[in-house]
């Protein structure tokens, strides 16, 4: 029961802004990095689309439109692959930190 206006029995205030488990706090930077890579991939896909539109529209020289489409495609593919790699690495590291006893138990079962 909380008594407003009275001094708390606990002399130390709770300074945590978010009371998240450790798993969520360790995967948060990986999710931010994955999000940034996905945004870069979206920009690359947009460049690819603009390059293709210019290539088929005939408004600009075909070499510059082809270069824009090719570079946009490369950026999109590379960044989406990097985002997937970051996410898979975060999943593996969180799985190891969540259940460290599973690996030990599996090793014991194999030996004995």
How do residues 34-68 score in pLDDT, each as one tens digit?
Answer: 999 999 999 999 999 999 999 998 777 889 999 99
The residue among 72 and 25 whose pLDDT is bigger is 72
* Res 102 pLDDT > 60: no
Structure tokens at 111: 């030996």
Q: What is the pLDDT of residue 9?
A: 65
Q: What is the pLDDT of residue 94?
A: 74
Q: What is the pLDDT of residue 22?
A: 52
């Amino acid at each position: 029961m909380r008594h407003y206006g009275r001094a708390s029995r606990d002399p130390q205030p709770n300074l945590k802004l978010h009371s998240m488990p450790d798993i969520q706090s360790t995967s948060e930077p990986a999710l931010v990095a994955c999000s940034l890579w996905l945004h870069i991939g979206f920009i690359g896909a947009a460049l690819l689309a603009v390059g293709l539109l210019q290539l088929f529209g005939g408004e600009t020289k075909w070499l510059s439109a082809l270069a824009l489409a090719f570079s946009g495609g490369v950026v999109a593919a590379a960044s989406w692959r990097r985002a997937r790699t970051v996410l898979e690495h975060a999943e593996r590291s969180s799985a190891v930190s969540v259940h460290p006893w599973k690996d030990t138990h599996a090793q014991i079962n194999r030996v004995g």
